[in-house]
Structure 1
């Protein structure tokens, strides 16, 4: 029998310390499953394409996932505000596991692409709801920052071990195990989420009107944008690309027009009237470009441009990923003890600028210590900024807007 103290909520927490830990462990497994899936799949993809003989669909394995993911993040972020997030977190885990199995048994590239699209739906549902569960569990932002380190650590570990793990599994056990490995992580996450994650519903309205028109318009806008980014370098400023651009702009304009007039908007544009929220969203967008460049193009430069082996690149990139986790942990310890928490953002971006400037001067003859120091500076900077952007934004909106505000940051 549990002692009364084990059921007593901690300070600034919805649950007891033990229950909070077990609930966050569940969310950690979920975060790790989604994060590690991306890194191991990218490593295994050349082998997959060679075996299934589908080079023409190579890019679509990634595009299908990203497209369905970015479309569903804001939709399920808002639905989580309406109906509570736990049902969607549970559904996303089950759907992700199903999609992973479908990818693992794929007999053609078309089959694989469809499975990845389904994974993207599950991933978007998960990202749109799981991260917004953290403020539900920890209403006090200073307490929340300390606990959010669990998710940051899981993300960092997944990105650190993902490439090596993907290569190991592909070489020794076959590329299909890359998808099947999601099953144990998902089952563990599902167990802890079902048992320990509470069902918190921030909006108690009896009659909820869903903004399906807004959902369709934002889906069309994001789809057009994704295709435009992918096809523009291939086809250039052709008539078809101009038409696609006009279609995307038209859908985006219609979305903004509709959301301004909708009484139950999918993304209430009023939240961006707060200058701080608008700035946080812009910073999140810019941070996404920085992180994408560091994790994707720096390894490409080191291997393709400087002639390093995949193993050497992995060794050099690991400090970057590990330092993101270290930065998040340091941030959680520093912020509660400073008068102006925004200083941590200034420090983080300062480290990113310093590390990025140093990377401008590297070449094939640059000392490895200098390269590692530059990447560590970038990593700690990312660790300082990423969790705090989310927490600061969550504190600026009402409880009924937690899901959609978090989803906007995740989708940017």
Structure 2
């Protein structure tokens, strides 16, 4: 679905084609929201039944790791060959992964399917989020259309926990995991009607296989270095080994990118201070987003003593806050001389929400829970949309897909780092301490986002 060419094909699209393209994006984001929230509420139960609760953090870490490895690769392929067929392939893989999770008979099988799920999500993120920049070159117009993206994601997200919990209570956890494959069939049908313009290039396109390999080694080794288990002999030695591999891969990747004509990372965009600042902010918000989405059901179950259904209801304010923040940002964006202030305001809302969630206890009122999640969702809705808009404003048009892929990779990698750190705390202490550590990490990240947002340079 790449609408980019030598001169940028966005101007060649009719209004009907633009609407069809965005309908495809909305359908994909609806499916993504459904998958994220159903998985977050059901997978703890699945891990318990498969006798692997102590390995539960790996469910998130492996998924995020696979997604982070895939995103930039898929983004580069989208810039080269177009995004429509990559989107369709990602939906098919997501359906296959969902079926595999629902049929898993062991924790190892569940983890393997979550890796495939991460590959699919990485492809979806790299392609779906780049489409609005292809279709609408004007940032203000793009902001209005992207605000509806948040609505679709939140609509599915609000349905996910409740639907998953209700199906799990009635028919078992496996039935809940079959929802996404069924919905994926409908999304694939919608994607058949979107435009499939293949981008034109002045020179022959070559894929950077060496750079892609080094990137994957760097991501895997950096996260493996955090998988410390004190009871395992020579654990620190293994950690040091992974750190050496990580450092070597990072140096090799950086040098290789300067030597190759068409690098996987497109280092030209990294020369911009604005791109670096947006990427750093996305790492932080990605960690917070993953912690709140993935661990909130366990947090509410263990700390506030809520059932899965009650936990799903309690998370609705966060899921509603996401589109509210996105729509509010779309309405205010074009009126701001310094839109960075909007993102700083979102970070402040997120910080206040995390403070309230950190204060949760067995006697916390429903209002306390709802306000905490609502403020967090409102802040994340504002932050996430601005990050996409800012990245597409500061990046060259020829590298829009790569820049959006870098943003998605940073968000996913931040989530993987947050999951890995929680897994480390879980191995050292226990689930209660890991949840508290996760909330403190979210609180610190939200606090750092405030000054970082104000320092962003968009010109």
Alpha-carbon RMSD across the aligned residues, in angstroms, is 2.7
Query: Which whole-Å CA distance do the structure 1 matches of 2:172 and 2:294 have between them?
Result: 24
Residue of 204, 208, 217 corresponding to 2:214: 217
**Equivalent residue in structure 2 for 1:27, among 25, 28, 42:** 25
Q: CA deviation at 1:284?
A: 0.9
Which residues of 2 match residues 1-400 of structure 1 at below 5 A? 15-49=13-47, 52=50, 58-201=56-199, 204-231=201-228, 235=232, 238-400=236-398
Report the Cα offset of residue 240 of structure 1. Answer: 1.4
Give the drift of 1:163: 1.9
Question: Alpha carbons of 1:376 and 1:59: their partners in 2 closer, same or farther (altered >3 Å)?
Answer: closer
Give the TM-score normalised by structure 2. 0.79
CA distance 1:230–1:239, shift in 2 (3 Å): closer
Q: Distance in 2 between matches of 1:353 and 1:54?
A: 33
Distance 2:355 2:102 in 1: 42
Is the contact made by 2:350 and 2:379 (CA closer than 8 Å) also made in structure 1?
yes
CA contact (8 A) 2:214 2:253 kept: yes
| Distance (whole Å) between structure 1 residues aligned to residue 102 and residue 252 of structure 2 | 39
Which 10-residue stretch deviates more, 374-383 or 131-140? 374-383
Inter-CA distance 247–382: structure 2 relative to 1 (3 Å threshold): same
TM-score by length of 1: 0.87
| Residue 59 of structure 1, CA deviation | 4.6
Distance 2:55 2:357 in 1: 33
Larger deviation, residues 311-320 vs 281-290: 311-320
Contact 2:304 2:360 in 1 (8 A): no
Query: SS in structure 1 opposite 2:201?
Result: coil
Provide the residue aligned with 1:7 in structure 2. Answer: none
What's the CA shift for 1:49?
Answer: 4.0
User: Would the aligned equivalents of 1:92 and 1:125 in 2 still touch at CA under 8 Å?
Assistant: yes
TM-fit CA distance, 1:170:
2.1
Moved more, 148-157 or 230-239: 230-239
Distance 2:148 2:397 in 1: 22
From the superposition, tell whether residues 217 and 189 of structure 1 become closer, same or farther in structure 2 (CA, over 3 Å).
same
Taking a change above 3 Å as real, the CA distance of residues 164 and 144 of structure 1, as seen in their structure-2 partners, is same
Q: Is the 8 A contact 2:38 2:163 kept in 1?
A: yes
CA contact (8 A) 1:49 1:58 kept: yes
Q: 1 CA distance for matches of 2:44 and 2:291?
A: 21
Q: 1:200 to 1:51 in 2, by over 3 A?
A: same
> Does the residue aligned with 2:193 lie in a helix, a strand or coil?
helix
Deviations 1:32-73 (A, max 9, x none): 223322322333334434555556765544443222211010
- Tell me by how many angstroms 1:172 deviates: 1.9
Contact 1:28/1:189 (<8 A) preserved: no
**Contact kept? 2:148, 2:323, Cα under 8 Å:** no
Query: Unpaired runs of 5+ in structure 1?
Result: 1-11
| Deviating more after overlay: 170-179 vs 44-53 | 44-53
- CA-to-aligned-CA distance 1:230-255 (integer Å, 9 cap, x gap): 34577596211221222222212221
Residue 74 of structure 1, CA deviation:
0.8
Alpha-carbon distance between aligned partners in 2 of 1:151 and 1:289, rounded to the nearest angstrom: 21
Q: Distance in 1 between matches of 2:187 and 2:115?
A: 22
Contact 1:90 1:193 in 2 (8 A): yes
Match of 1:405 in 2: 403
More moved, 14-23 vs 65-74 = 14-23
Deviation of the 1:217 alpha carbon: 0.6
SS in structure 1 of the partner of residue 265 of structure 2: coil
Q: State the alpha-carbon separation in 1 of the partners of residues 309 and 180 from structure 2.
A: 24
Residues 33, 186 of structure 1: 8 Å contact kept: yes
SS at match of 2:140: helix
**SS of the residue 1:208 aligns to:** coil
